[in-house]
Structure 1
Amino acid sequence: MSPRDARADLQRSRASRGDAQARAVTALALLWARVWGGRVGFDDEFGLYVCTGMRGGYARSGTTIGGVFLTGRPPSRRILRHEAVHADQWARYGAGFAVRYVWEELRHPGARNRFEIEAGLADGGYVA
């Protein structure tokens, strides 16, 4: 394995938090980012792929799917800290996290969503 391949494998493992389901979702999210014109980078501090420059394909100011943050513009460090917690949640709940998140958002939208509270409302730009 070349050093470049080894680094890419380490990044995939870190972004998915070592979870097989999160790794599969992460791979799909990276493909989704490319379809929407995103530029893929990796943030070493938070262990998160960051896809900027997307023409669409994400909600609000950005969306984390697996270990990938999808957005149109470069995010702040605070946003990345918030989104890294969402990547942890994907690893904890697997692919079922999407359903859990949507259900919670329907019942308790925005700043009342327990997954957003856990990720840090202020870092995510929410007003409590």
Structure 2
Amino acid sequence: MRERRGLPLTLIRASRGSAQAAFVTQVALLYARVLGARITFDDEFGIFVASGMRRGFARGGTTLGGVYLTCRNITRAVLRHEAIHADQWARHGLAFGPKYLREELRHPGVRNKFEIEAGLADGGYRV
């Protein structure tokens, strides 16, 4: 794996160049390993996919930084949706987690502005 400044290029790509998103990505990769996930890197969407998990994520899967955590929900449409969540992590940094949770409490599911931005149909939401 090629590196830049001591960081693997896949980590830089998955984190969209954001130091805060890179931190969240590293923590999420460790978390996924502890829970026994199979971790791969999707070149098209630039995210890590931690699959085979039995717990530790919400709904069909959850993106933390540049890591998508799931059991087996890995369609191209879903990965496109989750890649946008990785972009959101890069844009908002560590504040994205609390912002997302606040939005989900106020406007759950199909009304959540972060889910709308990521594409409801790609995310498997029934509109």
TM-score, reference length from structure 2? 0.95
> How many Å separate the matches in 2 of 1:74 and 1:51?
10
Give per-residue Cα distances to partners, 1:5-52, cap 9 Å, x unaligned: 439711000000000000000000000101111010000000000000
- Write the distance in 2 (CA, Å) between the matches of 1:106 and 1:74: 24
Return the offset for 1:110.
Answer: 0.1
Alignment identity in percent?
Answer: 63
Q: CA deviation at 1:58?
A: 0.5
CA distance in 2, matches of 1:54, 1:34: 10
State the alpha-carbon separation in 2 of the partners of residues 54 and 75 from structure 1: 12
Unaligned runs of 5+ in 1: none
Match of 2:16 in 1: 17
Q: Structure 2 CA distance, aligned partners of 1:37 and 1:6?
A: 25
Per-residue CA deviations over 1:40-82 (Å, capped at 9, x if unaligned) read 0000000000000112111111000000000011500000000
Superposed CA RMSD in Å reads 1.3
> Conserved in 1, the CA contact under 8 Å of 2:50 and 2:69?
yes
What's the counterpart of residue 80 of structure 2?
A: 81
Give structure 2 stretches of 5+ with no counterpart: none
The structure in which a higher percent of residues are strand is: 2
Structure 2 contact 60–73 (Cα < 8 Å) conserved:
no
Equivalent position of 1:6 in the other structure: 3
TM-score where L is the length of structure 1 = 0.94
| Greater fraction helix | 1
